[in-house]
Structure 1
Amino acid sequence: MLIENITMEEFAQGLEVCKTVYIPFGSVEEHGSHLPLSTDTIEAYEVGKRAAERIPLFVAPPIHYGCCRSTSRHPGTVSISTATLKALLKDIVRSLHAQGLVNFVVLTGHAGGSHRMALQDAGEELIQELPQINMAVVTEYELAKESGAHLIETRGDAHAGEIETSRIMHSHPHLVKGLAPAEYPNFPIGILVRDKRSFWPGGVWGDPGKASAEKGKVLESLVADKVVELVKALESRRW
């Protein structure tokens, strides 16, 4: 059930069979010269749609903004603070809980460290504030990398490379603008760099040349399977 497309009556009817909602977080962030700025959001939302085809599941409208530090100097990246991100997730969960939902799967298509930690912190605070709820906070990219390890040829693939290019080739091929060259940035260890783009000019971490729509289709399905497993685990008991 895509919340953005249903009526209030359909929402109420859905609550009779489902108390679980999937909340996709993404970003507006560079993904090389070949992928759209909304790549992370697209990936997270498409997985939710696939999961909702398999089990009763509310899918919230995607949150398009995230905390993007490493790519902040690349053209097109729009970043929000971790404080804003935390507050946003907490307000959304509180509101959905007031509507009758009790199980929350937060999946982020953006895998930045500070972004992930902010969502994790918000989740930890929410389960203390709302004892009735169950929550999971997971990273879409990590699920894709883990479940699709047998498909991925690029060692160290991380951003706008084989995995993400494959995903967008499958779900939104019209948004793929050629293929950027492979790139493996090398940031100095321990040093906080102001101009991160000077160490990462192309905005790719991996090899888009090894991507394919076929891989993307399989990866999307595998991640959806992981989400279904997670939903069933949340619904099986009080955590």
Structure 2
Amino acid sequence: MDGLVIPGGPLGVTPFHMPYEATITLSHETYIRVVYETCQSLAKHGAKQLMLINWHEGNSSSLAIAAERLHRECGLSVLTVQACYVAAELYGPTSGGLTHGGEIETLAILAAYPELVHLDRIEGSSDHQHGSKMDKLRRTRSYQPVLTDIRTIAPTGWYGDPSRATIEKGTQMLEDLGAAIASEATEIFSLLEKVNGGIATLDKMAKKE
């Protein structure tokens, strides 16, 4: 899969973590505008397809709005990928699931910024059972509570077991993640092209076939 990679920037929407000093968060409105205007510029320069790859769950609702606008107003074929959930599908069963500060998130940082990870300082994991219960609650499609901050899930700010994470495993995870996303995205963009921007009619589908 070929494409131009544009960095998304270091900031996102994370009021969830504001109780912790030095946390910086953008408002939903600001984040939507940053994403929209960045990608709008790409559209003006001829981009036709756009894949937004996200890891932070706090960005998801803002990205959905930005993606919708970019499609409707800029004519882009847009696909948003929640990479953290793809990672959970691939590595969750063997890495304790997608937890805040657990193995999967540690693997991602080890692969990209190993100097930031100090496994010898691990201490204070919150209760895994409670954290998993609260994460499951907030990730369900049917009932979506608004939680005050991360301590609602994990009083210490994190839970899980990152002790088994290694740079080698992290590198492999990112390779597997990239391959999975590229494969699935290629099929999805092909389908979107076939239905002509989301408008499918029997005669158009017949001609495409």
What is the CA–CA distance in structure 2 between the aligned matches of 1:58 and 1:99, rounded to whole Å? 12
Tell me which of 87, 90, 94 is aligned to 2:36.
90
Matched, 1:215 2:157: no
Matched, 1:61 2:15: no
What is the CA–CA distance in structure 2 between the aligned matches of 1:140 and 1:202, rounded to whole Å? 25
Structure 2 partner of 1:161: 102
Identify if the C-alpha distance between structure 1 residues 72 and 223 changes in structure 2 by more than 3 Å, giving closer, same or farther: same
Matched, 1:144 2:87: yes
Report the TM-score when normalising by structure 2: 0.74
Q: Which consecutive residues of structure 1, in runs of 5 or more, have no partner in the other structure?
A: 1-54
Tell me which of 16, 21, 26 is aligned to 1:70.
16
More helix by share: 2
Q: Give the aligned residue type for 2:42.
A: L
What is the CA–CA distance in structure 2 between the aligned matches of 1:76 and 1:230, rounded to whole Å? 37
What is the CA–CA distance in structure 1 between the aligned matches of 2:185 and 2:92, rounded to whole Å? 22
- Helix, strand or coil: the match of 2:57? coil
Identify if the C-alpha distance between structure 1 residues 150 and 129 changes in structure 2 by more than 3 Å, giving closer, same or farther: same
**Is residue 134–residue 234 contact of structure 1 (8 Å, CA) maintained in 2?**
no
Identify if the C-alpha distance between structure 1 residues 199 and 170 changes in structure 2 by more than 3 Å, giving closer, same or farther: closer
Q: Give the aligned residue type for 2:51.
A: V
Where does 1:1-239 land on structure 2 (aligned, <5 Å)?
Answer: 55-112=1-58, 115-131=59-75, 133-152=76-95, 154=96, 156-178=97-119, 179-181=121-123, 182-183=125-126, 184=128, 193=148, 197=151, 200-236=154-190, 237=193, 238-239=196-197
**Is residue 74–residue 197 contact of structure 1 (8 Å, CA) maintained in 2?**
no
Calculate percent identity across the aligned residue pairs: 24
**Is residue 48–residue 77 contact of structure 2 (8 Å, CA) maintained in 1?**
yes
Please tell me the root mean square deviation across aligned C-alpha atoms, in Å. 2.5
What is the CA–CA distance in structure 1 between the aligned matches of 2:173 and 2:22, rounded to whole Å? 27
Query: Cα distance, 1:79 vs. partner?
Result: 0.4
Identify if the C-alpha distance between structure 1 residues 144 and 191 changes in structure 2 by more than 3 Å, giving closer, same or farther: closer
Q: Give the aligned residue type for 1:180.
A: I
**4+ runs deviating over 6 angstroms:** none
Query: Cα distance, 1:118 vs. partner?
Result: 0.9
- Helix, strand or coil: the match of 1:206? coil
Report the TM-score when normalising by structure 1: 0.65
Larger-Rg structure: 2
Q: Give the aligned residue type for 2:122.
A: A
- Comparing 195-204 and 99-108, the one that deviates more: 195-204
The structure showing larger relative contact order (alpha-carbon pairs under 8 Å, at least 6 residues apart) is 1
Aligned length: 178
